[in-house]
């Protein structure tokens, strides 16, 4: 399957998904060489507003783990298990087969049923029947993708997740406007949760996915806000003189680590969100910023230029000795832990190029995953398999994703405006 490498698969969702509101398209620029052949037969449906099987097909293709069979190449299009002839799917070199049905149950409800088969073993691996409102059909499709992905790879799927990011419209004019948006992991259903003519920065998801902390300059000074997604309600939690930046939620959701320069140089502080108590964690005379918690909440990594150049340091979240972690590369910044705590992802610079790199915490070796000139803001998917980041090429800013081993590369293309600072939600 080596031909799968380096082949561009352009998935233009809006071409084959009806009634959708695509904010972006996703290119898989590189996939795993062992991509599994999967055929998803278009589900039978009666006038449903979402083509569920097309959404599932796109999700699985985008993951880079699968080589999806084109509809035209299918030997037949069964919608019921009784109509499946495994021999013809074996002859078509497909390892797995998905069939399904979608039926209007009345009252705005749909019944969805799907089955996943192992073609060579002629047996069912998964079978589910579910109901969904019309509005939730895409969500249901992503859920089906998660179920299939986990069954076939043993890893949790992330298709049901959401991403937050910042966009700028009219970036070249004085009329520019910045938006904090939240969208499904495939870029659909983008919703603007905050808008400002002054910059918005550094969105950070609460661990329960219900809130986002971010930096806003709307009052012509930096301030940190915490906004509840469901109600739109928000609170200004930090507006000290100087920098109020880089908010990062503690894994238990009770505290924010952040950067304040109210005492002089930027230092890392911890803000207790219920008591509003502020604890100073670092006290160097240099730049200390970009805190991020370890998954167990015991440690915080941060960027500091105390050694002359920005490098990654680690300190107990209770305070104490600060130890340098990175020694390779002249620029290492904005580190964050993988969900299992075994790796750190960071921006790794050599003086000219800024790329996304992963450091193995056990032996401190650094593996550079990307090849851009200005890659930044890496964010792990909740299952730790992919890293979302921002990139620039030819004056265009876009989002990309790379697998933790660097083998799968995706590019997310937005229809308009600049897009940056992606953050993968829980």
Applying the rule CB under 8 A, the residues between 354 and 373 that interact with another protein are: 354, 373
Residue 382 found at the interface with another protein (CB under 8 A): no
Residue 154 found at the interface with another protein (CB under 8 A): yes
Residue 91 found at the interface with another protein (CB under 8 A): no
Find the binder of another protein among 31, 157, 349, 382 (CB under 8 A). 349
Find the binder of another protein among 62, 67, 139, 255 (CB under 8 A). 139
Q: What are phi and psi for residue 114, nearest 5 degrees? A: -145, 155
H helical segments located in 299-355: none
Residue 124 found at the interface with another protein (CB under 8 A): yes
* DSSP summary character for residue 267: E
Residue 49 found at the interface with another protein (CB under 8 A): no
Q: What is the dihedral of CA 104, 110, 113, 114, to 10 degrees?
A: 110
Residue 46 found at the interface with another protein (CB under 8 A): no
Residue 350 to residue 328: CA distance in whole angstroms = 9
Find the binder of another protein among 47, 106, 220, 274 (CB under 8 A). 220
Residues in the interface with another protein (CB under 8 A) total: 89
Any residues with CB less than 8 A from the CB of 81 and at least 6 apart, and which? 99, 115, 117, 124
Find the binder of another protein among 53, 140, 317, 383 (CB under 8 A). 140
Shortest Cβ 210–another protein spacing (Å): 9
- Choice between 71 and 218, CB closer to another protein: 218
Find the binder of another protein among 130, 134, 235, 277 (CB under 8 A). 130
- Choice between 326 and 377, CB closer to another protein: 377
Of residues 273-302, which lie at the interface with another protein (CB under 8 A)?
287, 289-290
What the block records as the tokens of 53 is 């099987």
- Choice between 28 and 258, CB closer to another protein: 258
Sheet hosting strand 331-337, strand order edge to edge: 331-337, 343-349, 354-360, 366-368
Residue 239 found at the interface with another protein (CB under 8 A): no
* DSSP summary character for residue 352: S
Interface segment toward another protein; rule CB under 8 A; list 43-51, 116-124, 274-282, 380-388: 116-124
Helix (H, G, I), strand (E, B) or coil at 35: coil
Interface segment toward another protein; rule CB under 8 A; list 7-15, 60-68, 76-84, 409-417: 76-84
Residue 82 to residue 172: CA distance in whole angstroms = 59
Residue 134 to residue 128: CA distance in whole angstroms = 18
Residue 359 to residue 333: CA distance in whole angstroms = 12
Q: Are 239 and 247 in contact (CB under 8 A)?
A: no
């Amino acid at each position: 399957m080596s031909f799968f490498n380096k082949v561009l698969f352009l998935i233009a969702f809006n071409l084959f998904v009806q009634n959708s509101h695509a904010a972006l398209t996703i290119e898989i620029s590189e996939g795993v060489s062992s991509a599994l052949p999967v055929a998803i037969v278009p589900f039978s449906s009666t006038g449903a507003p979402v083509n569920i099987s097309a959404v599932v097909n796109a999700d699985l293709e985008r993951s880079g783990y699968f080589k999806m069979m084109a509809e035209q190449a299918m030997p037949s299009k069964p919608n019921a298990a009784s109509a499946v002839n495994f021999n013809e799917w074996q002859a078509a070199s497909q390892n797995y087969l998905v069939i399904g049905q979608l039926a209007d149950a009345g009252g705005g409800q749909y019944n969805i049923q799907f089955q996943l088969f192992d073609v060579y073993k002629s047996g069912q691996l998964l079978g589910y029947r579910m109901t969904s409102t019309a509005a939730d059909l895409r969500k249901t499709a992503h859920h089906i993708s998660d179920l299939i992905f986990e069954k076939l790879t043993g890893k949790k799927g992330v298709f049901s997740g959401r991403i937050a990011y910042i966009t700028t419209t009219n970036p070249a004019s004085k009329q520019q406007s910045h938006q904090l948006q939240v969208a499904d992991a495939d870029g659909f259903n983008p919703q603007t949760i905050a808008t400002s003519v002054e910059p918005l920065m550094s969105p950070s998801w609460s661990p329960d996915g219900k809130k986002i902390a971010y930096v806003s300059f709307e009052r012509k000074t930096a301030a940190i806000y915490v906004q509840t997604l469901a109600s739109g309600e928000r609170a200004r939690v930090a507006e000290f003189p100087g920098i109020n930046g880089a908010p990062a939620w503690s894994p238990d959701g009770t505290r924010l680590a952040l950067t304040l320069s109210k005492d002089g140089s930027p230092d890392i502080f911890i803000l207790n969100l219920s008591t509003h108590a502020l604890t100073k964690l670092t006290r160097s005379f240099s730049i200390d910023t970009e805190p991020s918690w370890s998954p167990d909440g015991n440690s915080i990594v941060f960027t500091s230029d105390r050694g002359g150049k920005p490098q990654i340091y680690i300190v107990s979240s209770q305070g104490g000795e600060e130890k340098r972690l990175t020694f390779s590369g002249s620029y290492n910044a904005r580190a964050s832990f993988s969900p299992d705590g075994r790796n750190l992802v960071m921006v790794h610079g050599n003086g000219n190029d800024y790329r996304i790199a992963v450091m193995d915490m056990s032996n401190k070796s650094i593996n550079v995953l990307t090849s851009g000139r200005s890659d930044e803001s890496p964010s792990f998917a909740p299952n730790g398999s992919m890293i979302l980041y921002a990139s620039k090429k030819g004056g265009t800013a876009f989002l990309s994703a790379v697998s933790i081993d660097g083998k799968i590369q995706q590019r997310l293309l937005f229809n308009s405006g600049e897009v940056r600072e992606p953050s993968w939600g829980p």
